[in-house]
Amino acid sequence: MIPIPVVVCVLGGWCAVYLLDTALRSSPSVKSSYESWLSANGLSLSPFHIRWHTSLFNRLFARCAHFNPTFLYLWFSAGMVFGVVAMFGSVVLLSRTLMQTLAQMMAETPEGSHEQVLQVVVPGVNLPVSQLAYFFVAILVSGLIHEFGHGVAALREQVRLNGFGMFMFVIYPGAFVDLFTTHLNLISPVQQLRIFCAGVWHNFMLCVAAVCFLLLLPLLLFPFYYTGAGALVTEVVEDSPSSGPRGLFVGDLVTQLEDCSVKGVEDWHSCIHQLAHQPQSGYCVPTATLQLNRAAGRAYKRLDGTMECCSNSSLTDLCFAYSSNLESKLFACLPARKTIQASRTCRTNADCQTGFSPSLCVIPSLENQTRLIRVKHAPQADMLFVGYPSHLQFSVSLTNFVPRLGFLHLDLPVMLETLSKYLVSLSGALAVVNAVPCFALDGQWMLTAFLEATLHSLVPEKSSRELLGFFILLGGSALLAANVALGLWMVTAR
């Protein structure tokens, strides 16, 4: 959940701003000058909302609108086609998402939520508080690019731009463009459609640019960071199974999990998934060592049916199961690190018959679903992890990028990767949601212009076209509201 201090700071900050604004407006001596200052700077305040409007960037918008007329015509025409397709596609996507959400609500366990393309995001619930900065920066950048598309498209279609602005609603930032409505109503429906579709088109292209940046990031950072050597540890959760004197540390390069090679973060997750779903691997131990530590008489069953043969207070020894030609199932309590460190992995006794001394394959006797995993991070000694593989996976943060020089920050590539991923997801979501034929969104104006452009000859009466558009907007609004409401319920109530 969202930390209470963060909630208190946000609410306290807005209350302080509102009280200060009220006090200044109520003071006879400063009211006039204060309101004049707000008006001159394009600022307006209301509870939990601050808005800034300016015409300083009008010249920049105008220059962009006259950059290359032919290119811009093709650019925004492509955006118009994309916007129309996205308008219909968003309805299909929201319908599918709604069906998936309803299916999860009816199920005993909410499985398959990762398959949904769209999900409701609640900071502090399904969005880590540590990543709020990326979230809000991505929202702001996506909003700026969205409104930039509207502004440039409007000026290209000879619609006057009154100004540009930004706002903050509670903690969510945003942007807007102020267009001259009279000019907008005078141009043709196709021209209007180019303007209304420009926002979602630019959000889509921002997604494409962010994806390209992610793919090219190893090449862009090649002079400073290299990849393919392993997974570099950037953070270890305190008091987790991966911490401690024999655990992992920031800056360690993980190269292997058991006999699974790790070249990067994807290999790390793949190896953990593989180890979690495969039987526990064993280790080749000389027969003489096993005879000295044989513990068949002291072995006993745990509650889950597995066998234990070591003292419960032992922190260094582990119970191993093995079989010989004479006896089917034997157990030995062995020092885990000494046994594993100089041993190779095996599945059966046949895998251990390559050496000069006779050896047997011993397999750790652990509780169900727990695993013994040997993590190689040279030059330090191997870390021996005993527990659920998922605990190992989520207690360590890693990156593919290893700095070539000591003064380079470990987190820089991670920050660039994370911000790019948020831009892809949030800009894409903004494109999809804004394309929905819904009241107060771009989809409302896109649908109106589309119906005017395509049904003018088929449905001559404007009132009939408006009525058709109203019912479509009503259905789209209900679909979006249902997705948001059920999505919030799934995130917060389950």
State both tokens at 284.
């080749």
Strand partners, 371: 387
Task: Provide the CB-side half-sphere exposure for 33 (13 A, CA).
Answer: 4
Q: What's the rounded Cα separation, in Å, for the pair 51 and 203?
A: 22
Residues constituting the chain: 494
In one-letter notation, the amino acid at residue 94 is L
CA-closest candidate to residue 433, choices 479, 376, 464:
479
**Alpha carbon distance 83, 447 (integer Å):** 10
414 is written with which tokens?
Answer: 């991670």
- The tokens describing 12, both together, are 């306290």
What is the C-alpha separation between 33 and 25, in angstroms, rounded? 10
Measured in whole angstroms, how far is the alpha carbon of residue 51 from the centre of its chain? 29
**What 3-state class would DSSP assign to 421?**
helix
Residue of 383, 415, 409, 395 lying closest to 235 (CA atoms): 395
HSE-CB for 172 with a 13 A CA cutoff: 9
Distance CA 376, CA 174 (A): 46
Is residue 248 classed as helix, strand or coil in its secondary structure?
A: coil
Intra-chain end-to-end CA distance of the chain, in Å: 13
Q: Which of 78, 83, 75 is nearest to 443 (CA)?
A: 83
Cα angle, residue 102 at apex, residues 97 and 108 outer, rounded to 5°: 125
What are 305's two structure tokens?
């049916």
Burial of 199 (C-beta count, 10 Å sphere; 0-12/13-18/19+): buried
62-63-66 Cα angle (round to 5): 90
How many angstroms separate the Cα of 206 from the Cα of each of 148, 215, 384?
A: 12, 14, 44
Hey, which residues are catalytic here? 147
